[in-house]
Structure 1
Amino acid sequence: MPVRHSVIHKIDKKPDGSPAAVYLASTEQIESGARDDLMSQLNDSYNATAGKGWGFFHQESGAHPFSGWLGKYLAGDTDFLSFSTTSVEHLTKLMEESNLTTGGHALFCHYQQGMTDYLVIALVQETEAVTMTEELHLMTVKRLDLDHVRLAARINISEWQNNPQSKQYISYLKGKQGRRLNDYFRDFIGCQEGIDGPGETRTLLKAFSDFVESEDLPDESAREKTHALVSYSMAQAKLGEPITLEKLSGLIDEDRPKSFYDFIKAKDYGLSETLPPDKKTLNKFRRFTGRAEGMSISFEAHLLGDKIEFDEAGGTLTLRNLPTQLTDQLKRVVA
């Protein structure tokens, strides 16, 4: 993860309503192991945090100037320090107006991962930690709390520049701090909501379930394909990268690498070619399957307790909202 540029400013804003003060860095962070470790930890923490939104820039305007400043930096019209300084001053102004946060260290980092350039911006608080001195004495020190970042966004610069029609080149933490705080930070970036990550992931899993049912696969084969889907999707989530439908299709069935992809397109599920994986939704996805004496049962784990109830003592399943095709067949038999 080569770091191209990084700057850390500090915004001091107390909850008592006193004016915010910004302490601007005079230089970029110098190249060092500490700097690279910090940015790598921030990136890992960001990727591991569940609950992200995905979007794209508003049209540049007086209300949303950030994309214009970023564009000037990328074009070489201004340097990274100047870009981050202008941005953090704007952030401080919005912070004053909203009165929703207590400030923190504003981290700006332009880095490369693989062939892709990213810009990550995060507001990080300080916390205390205990360390040991060379004389074996305990000492309390302050450190940046990367484990509990509440406000952060990451811009896929390469995607923005190469595919400006995309609606998912910005991701941002949604968290549990409240919509007003999320909206204030999103307004600072100038980001509007685009792709619904959880919704897209649910649609993908629904398409996969329909595909497995249409193929009438043996239990073992269904489990293998489910494992391939979840493993790939979770790996992409860990990297902070989107799911690519064509690649996923090839992993699900190596002998017929286009079968799942063609199924999705034929049924018109409305999925994008790439979509952001939602870890919470993926964690709930698991298939229970069983076959015995002419009976085959297969269902997704999230249906348990909703449309399907399991009575452990009686060894029975109660099913609700049966498929129309199945109920029609049963009605004909009863009649």
Structure 2
Amino acid sequence: MPVLHSIIHKIDKKPDGSPAVLHYAGSELAESEVRDDLMHQFNESYNAKQGKAWGLFHPASGAFPFSGWLKEYLDGGLNFITFSRVAVEHLTKLMEESNLSVGGHALFCHSQQGLTQYLVIALLQETEAVTVSDGLALAPVRRLDLDHIHLAARINLSEWKSNPKSRQYISFIKGKSGRKANDYFRDFIGCQEGVDGPGETRTLLKAFSDFVESEDLPEDSAREKTQALVSYSMAQSKLGEPVSLEELSELIDEDRPKAFYDHIRNKDYGLSPEIPADKRTLNQFRRFTGRAEGLSISFEQHLLGSKVEFDQPGGTLTLRGLPTQLVEQLKRAGA
């Protein structure tokens, strides 16, 4: 992911209640292997982070000025350093108003991946580490803590410019750093939640379950398609990219690449052509299967406790919401 511009300012905020001190960087981060490694590690940690949300900008205003400054920068009215300084001043002001005691290193990075441009904004903390000196003695060092990122956002600049009606061109960490901290950082970006990632993922999985049932697929085929869905969705999540329903449909059935996509459209599940995959929801989606003496049972894990109940001591399953086709066959057999 080539870095176009990047810079780090420092907000020094003590827990004693004294005013924050803002230390401006005099220049952008120089092109180097260290800078590129930093951004590579950051992106890997950010993509792996659970608890992210997706959204869009509030209209630019006095309360939410960031998107206005960003547009001015992209249009050439501000250079990158000036844009980052104006933005970090606003971040510091909101931090003071929220009476938060922890500052940090404010990272701004404008990068490009393929034809898509992104802007990353993050407030990074330092942590203690240990190194070995030239004399083979241990020495303490401080480093940026990229393993524990709590306040960060990534803006898909290309989507924002080309598709202003999108509701998911910003991703941000909802995190566990405290609602007050998350709220002030989200207010700094000026974004509102637009897409429910876990909800969209659950709807996608429901659509897939309905598709498998309607196609009356053999168990091996159903399991293979389930694996294709989960593998692709997980890979996209790891890359920080959305799931494309058309691409997914092609992977699920190469012989009929539009079948699953058409199923989603025709049944009107309300899914966008691209959705952010939620890893926690995907992790709960796998199939339990078993065959014995003419009996074949298969169901997805997320149905356990709702449509399927397992009585462990008795070794029995109770099924609810049986497929209509099966119910009709049973009725005819019992007539």
Provide the C-alpha distance between the structure 1 equivalents of 2:69 and 2:247, rounded to a whole number of angstroms.
Answer: 35
Q: 97-106 or 273-282: which moved more?
A: 97-106
Is 2:234–2:277's contact at 8 Å kept on the other side of the alignment?
Answer: yes
Q: Does 1:55 align with 2:36?
A: no
Give yes or no for the alignment of 1:167 onto 2:178: no
Letter in 1 for 2:86: T
2:234 is aligned to: 234
Identical-pair percentage: 72
Q: Is the 8 A contact 1:8 1:25 kept in 2?
A: yes
Q: Measure how far apart 1:129 and its partner are.
A: 0.3
CA drift at 1:313: 5.2
In 2, the alpha carbon distance for the partners of 1:238 and 1:214 equals: 31
Give the Cα–Cα distance (whole angstroms) in 1 for the partners of residues 124 and 232 of structure 2: 30
Taking the aligned partners of 2:62 and 2:328, their CA distance within structure 1 comes to 60
Conservation of the 8 A alpha-carbon contact between 2:242 and 2:277 = yes
Aligned partner of 1:241: which letter?
A: E
TM superposition shift of 1:101: 4.8
Matching of residues 171-320 of structure 1 within 5 Å: 171-312=171-312, 314-319=314-319
Q: Which amino acid aligns with 1:6?
A: S
CA contact (8 A) 1:219 1:290 kept: no
Counterpart amino acid of residue 181 in structure 1: A
Instruction: Determine the C-alpha separation between the residues in 2 that align with 1:286 and 1:99.
Output: 45
Alpha carbons of structure 1 residues 142 and 66: separation in structure 2 relative to 1, 3 Å: same
C-alpha displacement at 1:180, in angstroms? Answer: 2.5
Superposed CA RMSD in Å reads: 1.8
Post-superposition Cα deviations, 1:234-281, rounded to whole Å, max 9, x if no partner, equal 000000000010110000000000000000111100000000011111
Preserved contact between residue 106 and residue 123 of structure 1 (Cα < 8 Å): yes
> Equivalents in 2 of 1:324, 1:3: separation in Å?
53
Quick check: 63-72 or 249-258, which moved more? Answer: 63-72
When normalised by structure 1's length, the TM-score is 0.95
Alpha-carbon displacement from aligned partner over 1:18-51 (angstroms, at most 9, x marks no partner): 2111111111111111111001111111001011
Tell me the amino acid that sits aligned with residue 290 of structure 1: G
CA drift at 1:289: 2.3
CA–CA separation in structure 1 for the residues paired with 2:26 and 2:181: 29
C-alpha displacement of 1:184: 1.2
Q: Distance in 2 between matches of 1:329 and 1:263?
A: 25
Structure 2: tracts of 5 or more residues without a match: none
Structure 1 residue matching 2:90: 3-state secondary structure: helix
Mean Cα deviation higher: 54-63 or 305-314: 305-314
Give the direction of change, closer, same or farther, for the CA distance of 1:101–1:159 in structure 2 (3 Å limit): farther
> Distance in 2 between the 1:191 and 1:62 partners?
14
Matched AA of 2:68:
G
Name the amino acid aligned to 2:219.
Answer: D
Cα distance per residue 1:58-98 (max 9 Å; x no partner): 11111111011111111111111110000000000000001
TM, length-normalised to structure 2:
0.95
- Once the 2 structures are TM-superposed, how far is the Cα of residue 306 of structure 1 from its aligned partner? 4.6
3-state SS of paired residue (1:206): helix
Letter in 2 for 1:278: D
Q: Which runs of 5+ in 1 are unaligned?
A: none
Aligned residues: 334
Deviation at 1:177, TM superposition (A): 2.2
- Paired position in structure 1 for 2:91: 91
CA deviation map 1:159-187 (0-9, x unaligned): 11111111100000011223332221111
SS in 1 for 2:257: coil
CA distance in 1, matches of 2:303, 2:157: 39
Q: Is the 8 A contact 2:54 2:167 kept in 1?
A: yes
- Which sits farther off after the overlay, 307-316 or 260-269? 307-316
Q: Distance in 2 between matches of 1:137 and 1:182?
A: 41
Distance 1:289 1:316 in 2: 14
What is the CA–CA distance in structure 2 between the aligned matches of 1:20 and 1:309, rounded to whole Å? 56
Structure 1 stretch displaced more, 295-304 or 213-222: 295-304
Q: Which residue of 1 aligns with 2:117?
A: 117
Distance 1:94 1:327 in 2: 60
Letter of the 1:309 counterpart: E
Q: Deviations over 1:120-145 (max 9, x none)?
A: 01101000000001110100000000
Query: 1:34 maps to what in 2?
Result: 34
What letter matches 1:179 in structure 2?
Answer: R
Contact 1:123–1:151 (CA under 8 A) maintained in structure 2: yes
One-letter amino acid of the counterpart of residue 117, structure 2:
D
